[in-house]
């Protein structure tokens, strides 16, 4: 189990762009491990809200800090934007370890 706590602090407290890009990729890969998204790219992150947006060739992603019960989680949404339509995908990950918790 990896702890991404230091990377999360670097992104949302210090504003590290490189760590934000790495965190974005890790969140997408952990939320949707069976998908192969091409050319992942972070578009923006908001420090105060712990929110990120990004895209791949065919998808857009939104991730925001949330809670389930008393547990902090990442609420990750994926939506296809080109080459047809598909239902929106949504997953919850543990906030620090980025371990998959559940699909919504």
pLDDT, tens only, 8-66 = 999 999 999 999 999 999 999 999 999 999 999 999 999 999 999 999 999 999 999 99
DSSP 3-state of 14? coil
**pLDDT the model gives residue 26:** 97
**pLDDT the model gives residue 6:** 94
When divided into structural domains, the chain yields a total of 1
Give the domain extent around 88: 5-103
Q: What values do phi and psi take at 98, rounded to 5?
A: 65, 20
Can you give the pTM of this predicted structure? 0.92
Q: Residue 1 above 60 pLDDT? A: no
- Cβ–Cβ under 8 Å, residues 95 and 72: yes
């Amino acid at each position: 189990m990896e702890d991404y706590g230091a990377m999360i602090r670097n992104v949302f407290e210090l504003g590290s762009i490189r760590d934000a890009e790495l965190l974005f990729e890790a969140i997408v890969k952990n939320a949707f491990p069976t998908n192969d998204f091409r050319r992942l790219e972070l578009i923006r992150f908001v420090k105060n809200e712990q929110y990120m947006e990004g895209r791949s060739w065919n998808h857009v992603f939104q991730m925001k800090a949330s809670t389930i019960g008393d547990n902090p989680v990442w609420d990750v949404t994926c939506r296809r934007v080109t080459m047809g339509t598909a239902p929106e995908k949504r997953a919850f990950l543990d906030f620090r370890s980025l371990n998959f918790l559940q699909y919504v």
